[in-house]
Amino acid sequence: MIRILLYEDNTQLREVLSILLIGTPGYELVGAFGNCRNILEEVTRFNPDVVLMDIDMPITSGIDGLKLLRANGMHCKVLMLTVFDDNQNIFEAIRSGANGYILKKTPPDKLIDFIRDACSGGAPMTSSVATQVLNMFAQNHRSKAVTFNLSNREQDVLNLLVDGYSYKLIADKLFISLDTVRSHIKKIYDKLQVNSKSEAVAKTLRVDNYTSDADTSIK
C-alpha cells in the first residue's frame, strides 16, 4: 500500500481527491488537511510515502511546508499539486526539494500514475511544467555545463531526462544503446553528486546567489 498524506485548502477538491485515493486499490489515504501548519507532527505521526501538497494555503504555504520537512531531515516524497505553472513557483518548489510538480487539471488516472512514479524514484511533472523546467535549464546551460564538467552528450541526455523521456526513449532519440544511456546517467549523477532525477533538476537549476533581481531574470 502507498500511504498518502494530502494538504489542500479547497474543501471540495480535498474531498474529491480523498474519494479518488480511498477508492484506488493499492493506495491508502492516511490524512487530509486544509493547511500544513502542523506538517512536522503530522508527517511523523502518519509516516506517509507521498505527500500531495497544494502551494497556496493559508497560514503556511505548501512551499514553506516543504522547506520545513527538508530542513528537519524528512525525506518522504513530496508532490506539489497546484494551479500555478509560473516559473517562480516551479523553480522554488524544485530547489526546495519537491519530488514532482503536478497541475490540478491532471486527469485522475494520470495523478495515480504520477504518485506511483514518485514512489518508484521518478520525478513526475505535468508536460507543460517539464517544458518550462527545460527552458529554465537552458538559460543556465552554459555556466552549469562548465560548473559540472558535463560533456556535450551528457548534456543532451540530461536535457531529455529532465523533459520526462524514459531511458528507452532517450536511447532512440540519440541513436545510442540503452546501456550507453545508463552509463551516461550514472556519470551525470556522479558529476552532479546526486542520486535521482529530481535532485539533478534541483541542482542544475540552483542559483548560488539567489536574489530578487534573479527572480526577474528567470521569468
Q: What does the pLDDT average to over 38-54?
A: 96
3-class DSSP string for the chain: CEEEEEECCCHHHHHHHHHHHHCCCCEEEEEEECCCCCHHHHHHHHCCCEEEECCCCCCCCHHHHHHHHHHCCCCCEEEEEECCCCHHHHHHHHHCCCCEEEECCCCHHHHHHHHHHHHCCCCCECHHHHHHHHHHHHHCHHHHHHHHCCCHHHHHHHHHHHCCCCHHHHHHHHCCCHHHHHHHHHHHHHHHCCCCHHHHHHHHHCCCCCCHHHHHHHC
pLDDT of res. 213: 36
Give 136's pLDDT tier (boundaries 50, 70, 90): low
Q: From CA 189, how far away is CA 142, in angstroms rounded?
A: 18
The residue among 125, 152, 171 that closes a domain is: 125
The CATH number that applies at residue 62 is 3.40.50.2300
* 98 and 12 inside one domain: yes
The residue among 76, 107, 125 that closes a domain is: 125
pLDDT of res. 194: 79
* 168 and 94 inside one domain: no
Specify the range with the lowest mean pLDDT, choosing from 8-12, 39-43, 160-164: 160-164
Answer whether 188's CB lies under 8 Å from 150's CB: yes
Q: Output the pTM of the full model.
A: 0.65
Range of the domain at 162: 132-218
pLDDT of res. 179: 93
* 192 and 156 inside one domain: yes
pLDDT, the chain, mean: 83
- What proportion of the chain, given as a percentage, has pLDDT over 90? 46
